[in-house]
Amino acid sequence: MTLGSVMLDLAGLALTAEERERLRHPSAGGVILFARNFESPSQLDKLTAEIRTLRSELLIAVDHEGGRVQRFQQGFTRIPPMRMLGERWETDAAQARVLAEAMGYVIAMELRAHGVDFSFAPVLDVDFGSSSVIGDRAFSDEPEEIAELAGGFIAGLAAGGAAAVAKHFPGHGFVKADSHLEVPVDDRELRDIEAADLVPYRELIRRGLGGIMPAHVIYPKVDSRPAGFSPVWLKEVLRGRLGFGGMIFSDDLSMEGASVAGGVVERAQAALAAGCDMVLVCNAPQAAGEVLDGLSAGPLDHARAECMRGRRATKPLASDLRYAAAVAAVREAAA
């Protein structure tokens, strides 16, 4: 069965009757989980199994970056913020990259063990000291360091069977406003963004990056529309100039930064027309229903979707020596 282009969220620890109907809708293609959907690893196992029983092909994702953004905690390894890796880089770059790979491996192995395909990570935003919503989620204020550390993190994810989704393209780190609450505007010229923010993307796309999430930020010197609704950013720059061939996920369409595109159906249509493959509708159950019923879109690109599907672990976590070593390294670094 083909997948649709809408990723939906859930209200609680198990599927409701209404959510079952929505996930059966042909426009549905995935589920994003939040902390409210997690009570314990065993409960998460039941929830993801319930989703798979309903429609086995649905993608299941979560924001599980580490630091402030780690939805699953009890029974999962606590991952420190990515800034810690940037700080470690200053004293031992090689060791920092090894640790980045260990973090990616732990995240992937633990998510895959509980039926989750991938995390919306890593954050590639350059820390310009302006954005509190990004803050220590960013690896560094140096684009080249970000590329190297994120490269290690992504390699760890891949080794653990999970694809990466880099965010927030082309960069959310320069603006002070939080796109969850406002419509941020970044007045820089394209050449300035290319010289800093796009450096990690350029390098990691070359290495085969699987997914990207654009920012709900307007860059008026490039386009009057936020990046997630901009064919200039997504088709001309990302697909064309940078050569990205993977999945493009919109950021949550219920965020204030998306409001400039109109109602929620108009937002979804605008994001898909601009070049997004899949749109996220979170924390707004009524809006989710409106998008499913009102959206006219073809099926999700099969090859891109399959690249985001998690691979099965070859051995149980308890017998994976690489996993045990990676957990020990992460815990020592976080202590």
Rounded to two decimals, the pTM is 0.95
The letter for the amino acid at 12 is G
Beta carbons of 66 and 287 less than 8 angstroms apart: no
Give the residues of the chain that fall short of pLDDT 70: 1, 179, 181, 255-258, 261
User: 3-class SS at 244?
Assistant: coil
Catalytic residue from among 141, 178, 180, 301 = 180
> What is the per-residue pLDDT for 248?
98
Beta carbons of 57 and 116 less than 8 angstroms apart: no
Q: What is the Cα–Cα distance from 258 to 279, expressed in whole angstroms?
A: 12
Chain segment 134-168, per-residue pLDDT in tens: 999 999 999 999 999 999 999 999 999 999 999 99
DSSP run (H or E) holding 86: helix 83-89
> What is the per-residue pLDDT for 287?
84
Domains of the chain by range and CATH? 79-286+293-334 (3.20.20.300)
Which residues pair with residue 248 across a beta bridge?
A: 212
Q: What is the Cα–Cα distance from 10 to 34, expressed in whole angstroms?
A: 8
> What is the per-residue pLDDT for 181?
67
Catalytic residue from among 186, 251, 252, 320 = 251
Q: What are the φ/ψ torsions at residue 71 (nearest 5 degrees)? A: -70, -35
Beta carbons of 206 and 172 less than 8 angstroms apart: no
Choose among 238, 228, 253: nearest CA to 201.
238
- Asked about 180 being catalytic, the answer comes back as yes
> What is the per-residue pLDDT for 286?
82
